[in-house]
Amino acid sequence: MNSFGQKFRITLFGESHGEGLGVVIDGIPAGIPLSESDFEADLARRRSSGKPGTTPRKEADQPQILSGIFEGKTTGAPLCVTFRNENTRSTDYRNLIDHPRPSHSDWVAAMKYNHCNDYRGGGHFSGRVTLGMVVAGAVAKKILPDVSFQTTLIEIGGEKNPECFETIIEEAVRACDSVGGIVECRAKGLPAGIGEPFFDSVESVASHLIFSVPAVKGVEFGSGFTAARMRGSEHNDPIIDARGTTATNHAGGINGGISNGNEIVLRAAVKPTASIAREQQTFNFASGQIEPLVIKGRHDACIALRAAVVIEAALAIALADLYLIGK
Amino acid sequence: MNSFGQKFRITLFGESHGEGLGVVIDGIPAGIPLSESDFEADLARRRSSGKPGTTPRKEADQPQILSGIFEGKTTGAPLCVTFRNENTRSTDYRNLIDHPRPSHSDWVAAMKYNHCNDYRGGGHFSGRVTLGMVVAGAVAKKILPDVSFQTTLIEIGGEKNPECFETIIEEAVRACDSVGGIVECRAKGLPAGIGEPFFDSVESVASHLIFSVPAVKGVEFGSGFTAARMRGSEHNDPIIDARGTTATNHAGGINGGISNGNEIVLRAAVKPTASIAREQQTFNFASGQIEPLVIKGRHDACIALRAAVVIEAALAIALADLYLIGK
Amino acid sequence: MNSFGQKFRITLFGESHGEGLGVVIDGIPAGIPLSESDFEADLARRRSSGKPGTTPRKEADQPQILSGIFEGKTTGAPLCVTFRNENTRSTDYRNLIDHPRPSHSDWVAAMKYNHCNDYRGGGHFSGRVTLGMVVAGAVAKKILPDVSFQTTLIEIGGEKNPECFETIIEEAVRACDSVGGIVECRAKGLPAGIGEPFFDSVESVASHLIFSVPAVKGVEFGSGFTAARMRGSEHNDPIIDARGTTATNHAGGINGGISNGNEIVLRAAVKPTASIAREQQTFNFASGQIEPLVIKGRHDACIALRAAVVIEAALAIALADLYLIGK
Amino acid sequence: MNSFGQKFRITLFGESHGEGLGVVIDGIPAGIPLSESDFEADLARRRSSGKPGTTPRKEADQPQILSGIFEGKTTGAPLCVTFRNENTRSTDYRNLIDHPRPSHSDWVAAMKYNHCNDYRGGGHFSGRVTLGMVVAGAVAKKILPDVSFQTTLIEIGGEKNPECFETIIEEAVRACDSVGGIVECRAKGLPAGIGEPFFDSVESVASHLIFSVPAVKGVEFGSGFTAARMRGSEHNDPIIDARGTTATNHAGGINGGISNGNEIVLRAAVKPTASIAREQQTFNFASGQIEPLVIKGRHDACIALRAAVVIEAALAIALADLYLIGK
């Protein structure tokens, strides 16, 4: 449900247009210096920058720590961090009850919850709920001080050259459309031996969290789908020293589900934002007809831009949990 | 660890070359007719066929039900199914302690368990442990009588034409090498509304289980990585009737992590078998030198052939669990 | 840790003297009418009444719903309810770092968390954290509309006659001392068949939660410890009709860990409040000597008075979770 | 359900009169010497001794390790231990379908599982399933080499003098009746700091497991129910040295749910065996009448005798899990 993790356990709550949202993080070791300002760098990466491809909706996204900190350090008790919602335009969403947006959660949420779900801005399905994951990711990184994370958008709208990304996005915006992208995360410095057979392989736990990030439709580790096109003699990573360093890293730092001490490498496919300004033909449940739908509201033309730090957070959370379990 | 699932919970145990292995399945509704013969069809799909690309090691793979059945039906109590190991050649594996196989679990398992792991045939990391998953998958399908599963190898060694698969594999065998492949699973008939926000999306739970299957390095749903190269206007699936049918199915039957009533579609990338007959240069921890390694034992040149039914089982287990949770 | 439950899952956070505290409740079915006022009756029962035996510290205990409600009804998404801390006198607790209070969590918490725990008012170990349990209990009761709960203090300071309770407590207050008590909870209307073998018996799940309530040191069901002194022929509850009604109810409504449709009956032993005004001789870790300790602050002479509704809440939470699992 | 534990996780399966039963234990640290003979001492304590008060049904109770051991030591992979059922007289139980035994699981199990449960000998509700707990307890003790367990029957049929126990039981047997008893467990040597707030207090986790043991109806720690009759000044345990030793141990070694380094002390109330040879009047669901029932089969007149080691095992399992979590 809305909790994940064995020893580093996070619980998300909140909606896009309700009072607020946040996260409870349990299992943080005591004695780690922590304050709201520690979340700022990652929250800024997630924030709408106002540039093309990101929503003009701006929120201060001020985290407030409600519990778990004493004299500037974690106490071992659960950390609760909340965000208030402001600047919401709830009236934008009324008409979506009868006329749900294609490829959105609108219709499935209404089915699942007998039309009691908070449909405004996607409610609890909103990408805004990932604010709590970013906070948890920042805490996870503090638990893994020797691990450095590096996250890059390696592809937008099928284009691999970063110099063209802005153009691609601007074209999409002009076309009242959206584009997808591919995010690559690398984590260096994780010791060998992290991950638990059979079901809590590094890939299993990381993908579980990453597929929870809205819009992610694919996850691969190391050579991933390309591995399926290689021969064993090409793909195998020979060990070259007593620390287990491998000559190549097609495995993405993971053998048998366990970290091998080399860099963890994964990629996530982020679909194009479902909310597009362009008119779409889709079923209206009130009229019983396929009818044109124009989505109002403010949206990101390329959600992959803002999802990148969330995917990194998901990886950090997975690694912190497995690290604490394996200790 | 070795358990997975909330309401349909499976626990795997056993090693490749020990006494035996098996699975405990908890949460099966009472009253489902079940006997050992119900596992046979899927076990046969997993079994080495003796054809090119599969290991010459043959096992009867006779499942024995130890508990949970009374008068031919499930009782509501845990089902335990075991398999005995026979036809094992343990001496094949002695030299791998010092000279671990590239891209295998040998070295990480030794690290993680202080050299106490059963290294024979990969021990608990062996693909043989997936016998229990196949059994659990067969039971899961009984819980989902209206869902039909269809699984296809859509690519082997980069080749998409099934008529060429045998040639591709034979070439690999001749070259003392191995090839990877891509498995596609489709599940038709799942009702809308299955899957739990935020962390137990259909994608999250299915990928968690599928990445536990040895050799899987990528998982994607619907258009997956291709979605990242599409525009929203192409990718969005317009609804066309009151049952939620969509004109296209780029989402793979899942919106916001919840099933939408359309066909569930996923693909998994299976790497080439790490055990190849060809000599490899890799580190010998005894000598402290990179030295040639020749892997003895009997192996599959294309493990994707046998992994297909295991990936299907993983999907079935995920859907059965989420179905029982959502009821 | 700080989460409990499979389908009705609660997560507590917060400290006695920090910013605030609260609870996240996941798994609430959608469509249940709910507002802050629904918590008031049970919060009032928990509140210090100002009468003898309860602390003079008074808090408004105003719950605020942060998420999970839309148009006055539950949405199926997690409910987060918070309370702000006010009226705290943190300076009262400084000297307890070196000179921990006997039979309190002071010393074990310092050990466990390397002296990083928030020691003020017991921090996260404070009975104040049970505010979240009371809220969760009120929600649990809404999930079980056909179950009626009745909770009574059946014994205070060894006295069974309720007319003498006030006198007993006043005597303890005058003696700068405290008294314990026994709380009895009854739940009528639970259908037969609730509870899950082997480990999630009604007794197991209920006792797990009730022993989490600070000061509880014993739990018994039905005849409980008295059952150990009976013969089978006296203790057995013969069934007298087709609905499973039993002539007696020595089992407390539970056979084999499963509800049998008769009234659930349990008793919990609440120890005397550890914080007493009377001087105590106990070890001072700074001086290395046994020294007199006088506990300042404001405390309850009979915490059983206020614990009663928390124990009832614990039972309601257990039954709601098992009820949703068993459905 | 049938699994318990976070880091030391046990899964029970099997029935009294089926093929067999057993346990899977996950999370055992690698490298612990272990063989079937390590279970013998505790299995012998659980075994029917043939003395008054224990069933004449004798089983060899031969454990077989199926997985998790290599070269005489644990591997870090799950340990599966099974027992075959022999010497079962299933025909004894046929008539109980219509005419369920008072205070047994017969009727609730039939309700819960729509009459598909294995009713023979209580099926999965049988005390025989605790064989797996005894095995898990023996392993748990190996994880806690510094903790010594001592378990005593302190009361039988209301009698506290052990010299009278045999007489009490013989009288019950002669009267075709049964008696209950009280079991006390003590665990010495557990370090301070074990147990997790808020819900995984030592009391919570231990009581959860102990109440899973059939026939247990009450659990108390330290002074338990007697604490409710004491004043704080009597009950409080002053600390007397820098290691946290307390002058008294009314807390049973637990403050705020956390071990304080003093001896863990608990008592469990075991009800009189429900199966008595004496005729009972109870409802017959076939005839719709209250009718006399005579229970055939072989039963223990004082199940507390054999439950003692199971309760000790439950405590050991709880402490091992919390110990591994807290590390």
pLDDT band of residue D57 (cuts 50, 70, 90) is low
Please state the length of chain C. Answer: 327
Give residue A57's pLDDT: 62
Q: Which two tokens stand for residue D120?
A: 């023979």
Give residue B62's pLDDT: 94
Q: How many CA atoms lie within 13 A of D240 on its CB side?
A: 8
Give residue B59's pLDDT: 60
Task: Answer with the residue of higher pLDDT: A295 or D298.
Answer: A295
| C-alpha pair distances (Å), A24 with each of A81, B156, C17, C21, C23 | 7, 45, 18, 11, 9
CB–CB contact B117 D70 (8 Å): yes
Residue A50 makes CB contacts below 8 A (sequence gap 6+) with A56, A58
Of the candidate CATH numbers 3.40.50.10470, 3.60.150.10, 1.10.10.10, 3.40.190.170, the domain formed by C3-326 belongs to 3.60.150.10
* Nearest-Cα residue of chain C relative to residue A72: C116
CB–CB contact C78 A13 (8 Å): yes
Question: Which residue in the block uniquely carries the two structure tokens 């210096």?
Answer: A33
Q: What is the mean pLDDT of residues A213-238?
A: 98
Q: Strand runs (DSSP E) across D196-263, as ranges?
A: 216-221, 254-255, 258-259
SS3 (DSSP) at C38:
helix
Q: What is the Cα–Cα distance from C147 to C189, expressed in whole angstroms?
A: 4
Chain A / chain B CB contacts < 8 angstroms: 354
Lowest mean pLDDT among A147-156, D57-66, D207-216: D57-66
Give residue A96's pLDDT: 86
Question: Does B51 score more than 80 pLDDT?
Answer: no
Smallest Cα–Cα separation from B3: which of A97, D12, C322? Answer: D12
Give residue A90's pLDDT: 66
Chains touching A by CB (3 or more pairs below 8 Å) = B, C, D
Question: Does A187 score more than 90 pLDDT?
Answer: yes
Q: What is the Cα–Cα distance from B9 to B25, expressed in whole angstroms?
A: 6
> What residue spans define the domains of chain A?
3-326
Q: Does A233 touch chain C (CB under 8 A)?
A: no
Q: What is the mean pLDDT of residues B188-212?
A: 98
CB–CB contact D20 B113 (8 Å): no
Helical segments of B1-100, H only:
40-46
* Nearest-Cα residue of chain B relative to residue D13: B78
- pLDDT tens for chain C, residues 1 to 327: 999 999 999 999 999 999 999 999 999 999 999 999 999 999 999 997 667 777 766 657 899 999 999 999 999 999 999 999 986 666 778 888 899 999 999 999 999 999 999 999 899 999 999 999 999 999 999 999 999 999 999 999 999 999 999 999 999 999 999 999 999 999 999 999 999 999 999 999 999 999 999 999 999 999 999 999 999 999 999 999 999 999 999 999 999 999 999 999 999 999 999 999 999 999 999 999 999 999 987 789 999 999 999 999 999 999 999 999 997
**DSSP letter assigned to residue A100:** P
Q: What is the Cα–Cα distance from A326 to A321, expressed in whole angstroms?
A: 9
Q: Which two tokens stand for residue C102?
A: 């006997």
CA dihedral B213, B214, B217, B223 (to 10 degrees): -30
Proportion of chain A in helix, strand, coil states, percent, rounded to 5: 30, 25, 45
Question: Does A56 score more than 80 pLDDT?
Answer: no
**Residue A10, class by beta-carbon neighbours within 10 Å (0-12 exposed, 13-18 middle, 19+ buried)?**
buried
Question: Does D204 score more than 70 pLDDT?
Answer: yes
Are B325 and B162 in contact by the 8 Å Cβ rule? The answer is no
Residue A41, number of CB atoms within 10 A of its CB: 11
pLDDT in tens, B279-298: 999 999 999 999 999 998 77
D25 min Cα distance to partner chain A (Å): 14
pLDDT band of residue D299 (cuts 50, 70, 90) is confident
Question: Does D50 score more than 70 pLDDT?
Answer: no
CB–CB contact D327 A325 (8 Å): no
**DSSP letter assigned to residue A139:** H
Give residue B50's pLDDT: 67
Residues of chain A contacting B304 with CB distance shorter than 8 Å: 228
Q: Does C4 touch chain D (CB under 8 A)?
A: yes
pLDDT band of residue D178 (cuts 50, 70, 90) is very high
Question: Does A136 score more than 70 pLDDT?
Answer: yes
Give residue B272's pLDDT: 98
Give residue B48's pLDDT: 73
CB–CB contact A236 B276 (8 Å): yes
Smallest Cα–Cα separation from B140: which of B290, B324, B274, B16? Answer: B324
Q: What DSSP letter does each residue of A42-79 carry, written as one string?
A: HHHHHS--SSTTS-S-------EEEESEETTEE-SSPE
Q: Which two tokens stand for residue B223?
A: 């258009």
C71 min Cα distance to partner chain D (Å): 32
* Nearest-Cα residue of chain D relative to residue C180: D228
Question: Which residue in the block uniquely carries the two structure tokens 């990928």?
Answer: B207
CB–CB contact C327 B325 (8 Å): no
| C-alpha pair distances (Å), A245 with each of A231, A263, B282 | 21, 10, 11
CB–CB contact C7 B327 (8 Å): no
pLDDT band of residue A88 (cuts 50, 70, 90) is low
Give residue C303's pLDDT: 96
pLDDT in tens, D307-323: 999 999 999 999 999 99
CB–CB contact B116 D76 (8 Å): yes
| C-alpha pair distances (Å), B28 with each of B313, B321, C320, C325 | 15, 10, 21, 13
**DSSP letter assigned to residue C35:** -
pLDDT in tens, A137-157: 999 999 999 999 999 999 999
pLDDT band of residue A77 (cuts 50, 70, 90) is very high
Q: Does C327 touch chain D (CB under 8 A)?
A: no
| C-alpha pair distances (Å), D287 with each of A122, B163, D104 | 58, 68, 20
Chain center to CA of C42: 12
Q: What is the Cα–Cα distance from B188 to D183, expressed in whole angstroms?
A: 55
Q: Does B286 touch chain A (CB under 8 A)?
A: no
Q: What is the mean pLDDT of residues D287-293?
A: 97
| C-alpha pair distances (Å), D156 with each of C231, D50, D166, D180 | 10, 18, 9, 6
Q: Which of residues 175-194 of D touch A (CB under 8 A)?
A: none
Question: Does A258 score more than 90 pLDDT?
Answer: yes
pLDDT in tens, D127-160: 999 999 999 999 999 999 999 999 999 999 999 9
Chain B / chain D CB contacts < 8 angstroms: 170
Q: Which two tokens stand for residue B112?
A: 């993680």
Give residue D302's pLDDT: 96
Q: Which two tokens stand for residue B189?
A: 């008939």
Give residue C219's pLDDT: 98
Q: Which two tokens stand for residue D9?
A: 């996780």
Q: What is the mean pLDDT of residues A199-226?
A: 98
Show the 3-state SS of D287-303: CCEEEEECCCCCCCCCC
Q: Is D60 left (phi over 0), alpha (psi -120 to 50) or beta?
A: alpha
